[in-house]
Structure 1
Amino acid sequence: MILSSILSDGMVLQRNEKVGIWGKAAAGQAIQIRFNEKKYDAFADSAGDWRIDLDETEPGGPFEMVISAGSEASVIRNILVGDVWVLGGQSNMELPVRRTLDLLADEVKDVQLPWIRQFSMPISYNFHAPQSELPGGGWIAATSEDVLNFSAAGFFFAKEIYEKHQVPIGLILTAVGGTPIEAWISEGSLRRIGGYEDVLEQCKDDQYVIAAKAADEERGNTWYVRLNNADLGLKEGWYSESWNTADWQDFELPGSWTGGELEHVRGSVWFRKEIDLPKSMTEGNACLKLGTVIDADDTYVNGVCIGNTGYRYPPRRYSIPAGLLKPGKNTIAVRVISTHNTGAFVKDMPYRLLACGQELDLIGVWKYRVGAITEAMQQQTFFHYKPSGVYNGMISPLRDYRIKGALWYQGESNTDHPAGYSKLFEVLVADWRGQWGVGDFPFIYTQLANLGEEGDPQTNWAELREEQRKGLQIPGTAMAVTIDIGEYNDLHPQDKKTVGQRLALGALRLAYGENDLIFSGPMFKEMELTGDGVRLRFDHTGSGLVAKGGGVLKGFAVCGPEDVFVPAQAVISGDTVLVMHDLIKQPVHVRYAWANNPAQANLYNREGLPASPFSTGHLK
C-alpha cells in the first residue's frame, strides 16, 4: 500500500469538510480506515487506486488513523483537525523564520505552538502533465527549533489566526524562490493566453532538459575550478591567521565595487581586517554578522573557515565556535566571489561581531587584494522557472487534499515585464480554484514591498503593484499592502510578522466571517474633477483617512493633457483626498506612491493600514 507523503504523522485535516484519504494498493484489494471512532471501507479499482471520504470532523486532536489493506496496516499518528492553508509564490513566501532573526528573534524565542503545523513541498517540476504523486516532504510543528524552518509570513499568519480562533492551522508551503507567475499556471491556460507555445514544447523534450542541466553543471564546475586554480589567495593562504597586508589597498566597508578599479572584476577579491578583543569577548560562542555580500563569499576567522554562502541574497550570519577567538589580535578574512554581478558589501546592513553580550563594529577600513580575475559565469537555466513546470509538480499533487484557502506572495520575478500580470493572476486563481474543486475559496495575496533607492526613476515595481491591485476585481480575494515594511536594500525584507498579520486580516474577513473587520487600507475607488483639482474617493477608509505621522500628505502626483506627472499638493477632506497643482488647470490623472520605493507615501486609515499605490489612468 502506498500513501501520499502528505498523509503522514502530524498532518492537519480540514475541519467540517468531507476530507478525502487516498492511495494505491493491489487491484481489487479491500481498504479499511479507522479514524475518530468510525470505520470506512472501500475497494481499490483495477488500477489499484482507492479513495475514502471521511465524515466531517470538528476541530481538535490529536487523533490516530489506521489504514488497512489486507494484512498490511499503516498508522498515521498525531493528526489534528483544523484549517489548512496553501502558501504559494516565490522567495518572500518561502523565506524561513531563521532568515528574520535580526528583527524577530524575540517573537519566536521559546515558541511552543504545536497546533500550528507546516508541510513543505520539495521543489519539483514536470512539463508533460499534471502530477498526482508528491516527491516527498513531511509535517513539522511550530515548536523549538522547527519553527525556524517555517515560512515566516506563513507562521505569523497562522499565529494570528490560531490565537484568535483556537483551531489548529496547517500550512502547505509550495513556494520556490525566483519563480515567475507563469510557472504556477496550467499549460492549458497558458496556451489559451498565447505566447508560451515555443517554450512549452521545448521543455517537453526530456533530452533537451537533461542536456541543458548537464551543461549548466559542467560549466559551473569548470568556472569554479578555473577560479580556484588561479586564485593567488588560495595558493598563498591569505586566509591565514597572520598575513602581511602592507601592499594591500584600503576599502571602506560596507561599499560597492562600482566606481572603482574593482567594478569590472569577475572572480575573487580578498578582504582582511585585524581586530582587538578583550578577554570578556572570547569566553563562549560568538556570531559574525557580515551584512549581505554580492555574489558569494568564504569567510574565515583566525585562519578557520566559519561559513560560506553561494549567492547574493541571504544575510551572512556566521557562528564562531567557542575557543576560536582569543584575547588581543584576531583576524577576519573574507573571500568575495563575483560570478556575474558587480561585487559589494551591501550598505545599511549589520557588520559586527557579537560575543558574550558585547559587540564590535566592523564598519570602516579593511584591506583588499584581487585573488583572481575570470570571465563572468554564464547564467544557468532554471527549469523550475519555466511555464507550468511547478504547477504540474507542486500544485497538481495537492488537488485531493482539502484546504480552507490560499495565500500568495509573488511578483518580484515579473517586474521586468509588469504589463499583463493582472490577467495572468486572474488565470492562476481560476486554475487553482478549479483544481481543488471546492468553490471560490479565499485567495489572499501580498502586494510587492518597497525596494530600491528613494528617488530612483524606475517605476516597474509600481506598475506591477498596479497590476496586483487590479486582482481585487476577482471575487473572494484580499490584498495585503506592504510598501511601508520593505527594506530599500534587500529583496527579502525581514518584517514578515506584519505581512502575516495583514494577510490574516484578509482571512479573518473572507474565511472567518468577521464582516465588520477593517481588513484593508484605503483603496482608490473613483475620481471627480473639481475645478482645477481632483477629488479621490476610496474604499476601506475605516474610521477615517490620516496622514501617518501627521503633517502634510505626500506621495501624490498629477498630470494634465500632456500626460506629464508632477508632484502635487494633497489634503484629506472627510473620506476623500483633494489633489491639485498650481500650474495644472486641467488635471487628467493622479498617481499615488508611484515609485519602486515610495518612501514618502503616508496615506493610511486610522486603523493603521496603508493605502495601496494606484494610477487613475493608463500606463505608458
Structure 2
Amino acid sequence: MKECKEKGQLKLPKLISDGMVLQRNAEVKIWGYDVLNQSVTVHFADKVYSCITDSNGKWEITLDKLKTGGPYTMMVEGSNTVIVNDILVGDVWVCSGQSNMQLPVNRIKVIYEDEFNNAKNTCIRQFIVPEKYEFKKPVEDVASGEWKSVDPESVLDFSGVGYFFAKALYEKYKVPIGLIKTAIGGSAVESWLSEAALKEFPKYMKTAEAFKDDAYFNKVRKNDEESSHRWYKNVDKKDEGLANPEKPWFDPSCDVLDWDTINLPACFKDEKIGALNGSVWFRKDIDIPKSMLGKPAMILLGTITDSDFVYINGKLVGTTGYQYPPRRYNIPKNLLQDGRNTIVIRVISNNGNGEFTEDKPCEIAIENKKIDLKGSWKYHIGVSVKEPLPPVTFFPSVPLCLYNGILSPVISYTIKGVIWYQGESNCDRPKEYKSMFVRLIADWREKWKQGDFPFLYVQLPNFMKAKEEPGESAWAELRDVQLKTLNATNNTGMAVAIDAGEWNDLHPLNKKDIGERLALAARKVAYGEEALVYSGPIYKSMRTEGNKIIISFTNIGSGLIAKGNCELGHFAICGDDKRFVWAKAEIKDNEVAVWNEDIDKPIAVRYAWADNPEGANLYNKEGLPASPFRTD
C-alpha cells in the first residue's frame, strides 16, 4: 500500500490493503479515518465515490456491486493519498473457531509434502487477524496483518482447513478466494459472542464484567504468571538431573547404571513412575552408521505430556512447553556421530498425567531411512513435587474477549460467509452449547448486517480411545447439538468428520477431507447447487417393526452403503430399561434396520454414540459418512 502526501492523516484499516480480496456481487464498504470534516474520494474500477468524515474522523463509502476479476488498483484521496494495489474481486470467507481451524499448513505438511512444496496460486489469499484479548469494548482495527497469496513459503501459515476449502472452491468456480483467519486455539464459544448476545447468558456476562476492570485483569494475570513461574522454578531447583552443572544428566558421560528401564511410548500412571508431578529423565543410546551421517536429520517423538527438552549427544535440539504440538526437531548438522549416539529427554509432568503418546512416530529420520526409537529406554525421576502446576486463567475462553479483540475489526468487511471449526473447548458443557452456538450464528449475522449469510461448520471428529461397550459421551452429545443446529438455524451446512480424527490427537492431521467437505457444503448452501449431495446420511425418522427399528435418512445420495463391504458397525439399541447394547444393522431399501435378538420391544437406537466410534461405517455411495445420531 503506497502512501503519498505523507503529512496528511488519511488512514485505512489493515484489512483494506495491498492484495486484498473484495466480495463480488455485493455492496462492499470501504472505510477509514482522516481529519474532521475532510472530503474523501475513492477511485476504483473506473468509478469515483465521495464522502466527508464524521465528527470522529471516520468515513465510509459503498462500492457498486463488483464483478469477478482483477487485479485492480484503488486510490483514496483525503488529507493525503493512499494507493492500494493488486486487488482481486471474488469471494471472501471468514475462517473461525479454535485450534483445528487455526492449525497452519506447517503442522500438517508432513502428510501433504508434494502438495505444499509446489503450492502456488495468486488467486487464493489469506489475512491473519492477530491474537488479541479485549474485555472493555470492540476494537476497530487490528494491530498488524497483510494479505498473502499462496506460494510454497506463505502457504505454511494458511489455515490447513481454510486452504483446502479455498482450493476446492477455486478449482470448481475459478473465482478468487479470500480467507480471513480469526481462529484461536482453545477458544470457547462464549469468547466469540458480542456483549449484546452474551447478556442472554448471565453467568458468562458476569465473568466478562469482572475482566473489564483493569485492576482485576492485571491481578489475575500477575498471579497466574507468578504461581506458574514459582512452580517451574521449584521443579528446576530440586531436579537432581540439573543439580550438578558440571555433569547434568543430559551429559552422555553421565552414569546411568542405577536407572530403571521402561518401554516407550508409555503412560507414566501405568508404569512404576506413577502419577508424578515433576520431572523424569529418559535416555537411550543408539548406533548410527557412517553412511547416514552428514545428511539432513530429524528426531520425531509424537506428542508428549506435558513439556520436554530433547538432547542429542549433550546438545539441546528442541523443546516444547505444552502437550499438543508434535515433536519434530531438526538435528543440527554434524551433531550425529559414527557409532554410539546418546538421546536424553527431560519430561516435565505438571498434573500427574505424564505420557509419551501411543501410535505416534518415535524415530530419527535421515532422508528416506529411519531409526526406530520405540522400546527400551533408561529412566530416572529428577524430582517429584507434591502439588501440581496451579491452574491458570485460559484467556481465549474468557467470555467476550475474542469477539471484541479479533472479530470486531472484521465485521465491517463484506464477506460471502463463515466456516467454523470449534467445540472441543465446550465438550464439558454440551447442553448449553446448543443455545450459545445458535445465538452466535444469529449474533454474527446481526453484526455483519448482510442478512443470513452462509454459516458452515465442522462436526467434531472421532477422538480418544474406543470403548468396548455403548455408553454416554460428552463428545457425542456435542455432535448431536451440532447436528440439531442444522434445523435450528437456516442457511447452515455441516461437514461430518467422524472418520477424519485421530484417537490420540486433539489436532488430527487430515485437514484435506474437512476442507473439501466444507467446500461441498458451500457449493450447496452458498452457491446454489441444489442437486449436489454435499453430506453423508442424516437421521430423519424411525419406526418400529416387530423387534426391529427402521431408520430413515436424508442425504442418502445414490444410496446407502456399509464402507468396507462388511457389516454395519456401531449401532446400539435399547428396550424399556433404556440400557443400550450393541445391535445388528443392515441396509434395506436405503433404510437401516436395527435389532438385537434379546430385545423384543426396542424403543431407541443410537449410532456412533461415543467419543471415538471406531467401526462406524454407514456412508452414502458418494463416499460421505453418516452423522452420529440418537433417536432417544
| TM exceeding 0.5 | yes
1:410 pairs with 2:410: no
Partner residue in 2 for 1:346: 357
* 1:135 maps to amino acid: A
CA distance in 1, matches of 2:84, 2:228: 43
Read off the aligned partner of 2:389 and give its amino acid letter: M
Q: Is the 8 A contact 1:283 1:356 kept in 2?
A: no
Alignment of 1:503-582 (within 5 A): 503-582=518-597
Aligned AA (1:423): S
Residue identity opposite 1:498 in structure 2: D
Of 15, 33, 43, the residue aligned with 2:42 is 33
1:490 maps to which of 493, 505, 517? 505
1:195-594 alignment, distance < 5 Å: 195-236=203-244, 237-374=248-385, 375-455=387-467, 457=471, 459-473=473-487, 474-594=489-609
Post-superposition Cα deviations, 1:437-495, rounded to whole Å, max 9, x if no partner, equal: 11111111000000111116551111111111001111111111111111000011000
Compute the displacement of 1:151 (Å): 0.7
CA contact (8 A) 2:126 2:181 kept: yes
8 Å contact from structure 1 (residues 104, 495) kept in 2: no
The 1:235–1:75 alpha-carbon spacing in structure 2 relative to 1, beyond 3 Å, is: farther
Q: CA deviation at 1:29?
A: 1.1
Tell me the CA shift for residue 240 of structure 1: 2.0
Q: Which moved more, 1:26-35 or 1:534-543?
A: 26-35
How many angstroms does 1:62 deviate by? 2.0
Q: Give the letter aligned to residue 12 of structure 2.
A: L
Q: Secondary structure at the match of 1:196?
A: helix
SS in 1 for 2:319: strand
8 Å contact 1:420–1:467 — kept in the other structure? no
Give the Å deviation of 1:516. 1.2
Alignment-mate amino acid for residue 462 of structure 1: A
Matches within 5 A, 1:25-174: 25-70=34-79, 72-174=80-182
Cα distance per residue 1:245-270 (max 9 Å; x no partner): 11111111111101333223211111
Alpha-carbon offset, residue 47 of structure 1: 1.3
- Partner SS, residue 322 of structure 2: coil
Percent of pairs with identical residues: 46
3-state SS of paired residue (2:196): helix
| Offset of residue 501 of structure 1 | 0.6
Q: Secondary structure at the match of 2:506?
A: coil
Q: Which residue in 1 is equivalent to 2:188?
A: 180
Superposition CA RMSD, Å: 1.4
Confirm or deny: 8 A CA contact 1:124 1:384 kept in the other structure.
no
Measure, in 1, the Cα distance between the counterparts of 2:380 and 2:18.
Answer: 53
- Which aligned segments of 4 or more residues in structure 1 are displaced greater than 4 angstroms? none
Whether the 8 Å contact between 1:42 and 1:51 is mirrored in structure 2 is yes
Q: Displacement, 1:539?
A: 0.2
Deviation at 1:577, TM superposition (A): 0.8
Q: Which amino acid in the other structure matches residue 406 of structure 2? A: M
3-state SS in 1 of match to 2:523: helix
Q: Output the CA distance in 2 between the equivalents of 1:475 and 1:404.
A: 15
Structure 1 residue 370 displacement after superposition? 1.4
SS of equivalent to 1:147: helix
Matches of 1:396 and 1:301, distance apart in 2: 47
CA offset at residue 278 of structure 1?
A: 1.2
Which sections of structure 2, spanning at least 5 residues, go unmatched?
Answer: 1-9
SS at match of 1:132: coil
Normalising by structure 2, we get a TM-score of 0.95
What is the SS of the residue equivalent to 1:225? helix
In structure 2, distance between residues paired with 1:467 and 1:159: 29
Match of 1:602 in 2: 617
Alignment check: 8 A CA contact 2:276 2:352 kept: no
- Tell me if structure 1 keeps the 8 A contact 2:241–2:382: yes
Q: CA deviation at 1:282?
A: 1.2
The alignment of Structure 1 onto Structure 2 pairs a total of residues equal to 616
Higher mean Cα deviation, 522-531 or 214-223?
214-223
AA aligned to 1:47 is N
CA distance in 2, matches of 1:592, 1:88: 29
Q: Which residue of 1 aligns with 2:3?
A: none
Which amino acid in structure 2 is aligned with residue 201 of structure 1? E
Partner of 1:2: 11
